[in-house]
Structure 1
Amino acid sequence: MKIKPFGVEIWMNEFENHCEFNLAETCVASLTIEQLLELSGKNSDVLDDLKPMKLTYGAIEGSDRLRDAIATLYERQERQNIVVTHGAIGANALVHETLVEPGDHVISVRPTYQQHYSIPESYGATVDILHLRPEIGFLPDLDEFANLIRPDTKLIAINNPNNPTGALMDAGYLEQFIEIARRSQTYVLCDEVYRGTSQTGDGFCPAIADLYERGISVAGMSKTFSLAGLRLGWIAAATEVLEAVSIHRDYNTISVGMLDDYFAALALENKSRILERSHRITRGNLQILDDWVSNEPRISYVKPQAGTTALLKYDFDMSSREFCVSLLEETGVMFTPGSVLHMEGWLRIGYANNPEILKTGLEKVSGYLKRLEERGVPFATETIT
């Protein structure tokens, strides 16, 4: 099997450990173990739980405790509708591996996480791209979607909230999207790893698994819950989907680690305090970013409605990789070039880290933009409004 290089992961691997201000990070500022224990009230007695724990294989599907905790994130899912995976990335890969065969027809939005179009393509599927455009807020054009779907379409892959744009399909929009998919009884895989980060209310948008009988929700502990180091995710779906997934999962997962399972359950059982922290960071930091964009005439964007990332359009005639490499070399600030997301001419910023890092990093970017003008770098011929 041949597969295209994973652009964003290659970029992160090349530069992430060589920057001073990481504005490419996509997780809400990661928790330390000490912070997690403090938020969960387990400071003094956690060792009483861990010392007798035998470090054997864990429960194959994930512990009952963990799957029950995950189910509380949904309206209509119970323990039997949840299977635990090696991160959301593992969950996505398992769904594609289970459902997609050579010759199948798949629809994926773009921009999105590259798994959702490169993996099915590597299996020999025909992948049609539903392009998300800034003029409609980076939401799927429902008429275009209806024209792409076929009676034999096997799978539709979406990302809600969207990475990298922060666009959000609310309940009404998602229902319209589902109604189109339902005409062909097509499975919809929704990568919901940023669910819980909406800028209003409790932060949670509807889950596809709760709304659609062929909806498959994927999420994990990395983004909203600030625990990427656990490498723990899950699939929420109808039991017949999970039974099919489990046949493939037996070959590459067995179980997640006992410690990962334990700490993920602990976090989800105390999710209200973690979510309060996440909302404080994402909502406060987006205001910082929005104020900065409004004062930078060479930068424009569609303001995110959720998530931890935004796409920035820059008004200079240079490639996004050239922009990001020179920015990093001159300032220590790391962005992600749009080219690795198949969005040349744009930059992805992660705004959910420490607020002081964000503020200082953006100040340095402002200085860099000013120097580009002073050097006479030509302006781009197209900008968004």
Structure 2
Amino acid sequence: MKIAPFAVEEWMNEYEVGAKYNIAETCVDSISLDELFELTHTDKREFLDDICARRLTYGDIYSKPELLKGIASLYKTVNTDEIVTCHGAAGANHHLFYSIVEPGDRVISVMPTYQQLYSIPVSLGADVKVMHLEKDKNYLPDLDELRRLAVKGTKMICLNNPNNPTGALMDEALLKEIVEIARECGAHLMVDEVYRHLTQEDVWSPSAADLYEKGISVSSMSKVFSLAGVRLGWIATKDPSVLAACRSHRDYDLISCGMIDETIAALALSHKDEILSRNRTLIRENLSVLDAWVKSEPHVSYVRPKAGTTSLVYYDLPMDSYDFCRDMYHETGAFVTPGDCFEEPHSMRIGYAADRETLKNGLAAVSEFIKRIAKD
């Protein structure tokens, strides 16, 4: 199977390890096991003794009951038997497409977004139609365009909410309009929700899996819960045909998730409120830092993110984004992601969920580079 190179992941693979100021990271500042134990008031010795005494079998094939209970608690209507766990959200997205998309199927996606949401369906031979999200519309889907594309028999509409890289957020009213479009044409509505719950305001984050009988939510422990090292994600849906297809294919490519990963994730989700409080505070305070920086820099602009951990920042300098980000990395140590990874030229994706000092120092380094380039 041929597939397009994954632009953003190839960039991260090449440059992330040596970065001095990593403000390309998309996870909320990652935590250690020690920090998890502290946040959850867990006895470290008791937890580790329990883990170390276990025989390393496959564990629960359909996942640890405590984990499924924790995942279900993130939704309003999803039950524990309506969840399929996978290796991260990346694994969940791939698994979902592989399980239900066939050659010739009409699949509607958006751009900019995480490349999986259009490149994998293309690789499977789907008839992929892409809606371009526009800056002057706050990167929200154009419903008239969606109605034109969503012909009868459309297999799937793929969205990302909150959006990566822009931080745009579809509210419940907009999602319900999209649900009606999907219902009218008979399509599944798949929403990559890996940044769900990371809002700038104290509002409930609606999920496609709660709003629509054919809605599908994909998420993970990585972004929201700061546990990317726990390679654990999931597909949540009330659609029995999707669940059956995913479980059937799961026997071929997964069998089960790691029992140690599941135990750690279950612990985190049993104390989700503590972790969410920590992480919402961090992204809200850090966005104020980013926002002040954007307002102070005459050469950059953006649409202020409403949720998530990333922003798409445009610059008005005559320099290709790959060259801009690469030269800046080597000159200053500031690491961001080229907008061209998302087919958005003259821009960069900045992740603002790192620790505060890294963000401040990284933005200062970007300013230093811009000042030098603007002089030339």
TM-score scaled by length of structure 1? 0.96
CA RMSD of aligned residues (A): 0.9
Mapped partners of 2:180, 2:237: distance in 1 = 18
| 3-state SS of paired residue (1:140) | coil
Residues 105-156 of structure 1, C-alpha deviations (whole Å, 9 max, x = no match) = 1100111111110111011111100110000000001111111111021111
CA contact (8 A) 1:99 1:155 kept: no
Following TM superposition, by how much is the alpha carbon of 1:48 offset from its aligned partner in structure 2, in angstroms? Answer: 3.6
State the SS of the aligned residue for 1:188: strand
Structure 2 partner of 1:20: 20
Residue matched to 2:294: 293
CA distance in structure 2 between the aligned counterparts of 1:32 and 1:251, rounded to whole angstroms = 32
Q: For the Cα contact (< 8 Å) 1:20–1:332, is it kept in 2?
A: yes
Structure 2 Cα separation of the partners of residues 133 and 212 of structure 1: 26
Q: Which runs of 5+ in 1 are unaligned?
A: 376-385
Match of 1:96 in 2: 97
Deviation at 1:179, TM superposition (A): 1.0
Aligned to 2:78: 77
2:74 maps to amino acid: L
Deviates more, 1:131-140 or 1:37-46: 37-46
8 A Cα contact 1:165 1:309, kept in partner? yes
Aligned equivalent of 2:142: 141
Q: CA deviation at 1:365?
A: 1.0
Aligned 8 A contact 2:84 2:246 in 1: no
CA distance in 2, matches of 1:105, 1:345: 31
2:310 counterpart residue number: 309
Q: Distance in 2 between matches of 1:47 and 1:370?
A: 51
After superposition, what is the alpha-carbon deviation per residue over 1:37-73, rounded to whole angstroms, capped at 9, x for unaligned?
Answer: 1111113421242132211102111111110111000
Tell me the CA shift for residue 196 of structure 1: 1.1
Match of 2:8 in 1: 8
CA contact (8 A) 1:108 1:128 kept: yes
Q: How far apart are 1:276 and its partner, in Å?
A: 0.8
Q: Secondary structure at the match of 2:17?
A: helix
Q: Is the 8 A contact 1:28 1:353 kept in 2?
A: yes
User: Which residue identity is paired with 2:216?
Assistant: I
- Equivalent in the alignment of 1:184: 185
AA at the equivalent of 2:36: L
Q: Which residues of structure 2 form unaligned runs of 5+?
A: none
Q: Following the alignment from structure 1 to structure 2, what is the Cα–Cα distance between the partners of residues 255 and 332?
A: 40
Alignment match, 1:343: 344
Structure 1 partner of 2:61: 60
Partner of 2:360: 359
Q: Does 2:183 correspond to 1:163?
A: no
- Shift in Å, 1:319: 0.4
Between the aligned partners of 2:86 and 2:49, the Cα distance in structure 1 is 26
- The one-letter code sitting in structure 2 at the alignment partner of 1:120 is P
CA distance in 2, matches of 1:67, 1:368: 47
> Which residue in 2 is equivalent to 1:380?
none
Aligned residue pairs total 374
Which residue number corresponds to residue 370 of structure 1? 371
The answer (yes or no) to whether the contact 1:71–1:77 under 8 Å persists in 2 is: yes
**2:207 counterpart residue number:** 207
Letter in 2 for 1:243: A
Name the CA distance, whole Å, in 2 between partners of 1:52 and 1:366: 52
Once the two structures are superposed, residues 6-47 of structure 1 have per-residue CA deviations (whole angstroms, 9 ceiling, x without a partner) of 000000001001210001100000001100011111134212
Percentage of identical aligned residues: 51
State the TM-score, normalized to the length of structure 2.
0.98
Indicate if the aligned counterparts of 1:87 and 1:233 stay in contact, CA closer than 8 A.
yes
User: How big is each residue's C-alpha offset from its partner over 1:215-268, in whole Å with a ceiling of 9 and x where there is no partner?
Assistant: 000000000100000010011012331111111111111111111000000000
Distance across 2 between alignment mates of 1:344 and 1:300? 13
Does structure 2 retain, via aligned residues, the 8 Å contact 1:34–1:43? no
Residues of 2 paired with 1:298 and 1:176: CA distance?
Answer: 37
Provide Cα deviations, 1:329-374, integer angstroms capped at 9, x if missing partner.
1110001001111212211000000011000111111111111111
2:337 and 2:20 map into 1 onto residues whose CA distance is: 14
1:125 matched to 2:123? The reply is: no
- How far did residue 190 of structure 1 move? 0.4
Aligned residue for 1:221?
221
Structure 2 distance, partners of 1:214, 1:62, is 23
For residues 177-201 of structure 1, give each alpha carbon's deviation from its aligned partner in whole angstroms, at most 9, with x where no partner exists.
1111110110011000000101111
Question: Which contiguous aligned blocks of 4+ residues in structure 1 show a shift greater than 3 angstroms?
Answer: none
Contact 2:198 2:309 in 1 (8 A): yes
Q: What CA distance in whole angstroms lies between the structure 2 residues aligned with 1:43 and 1:295?
A: 46
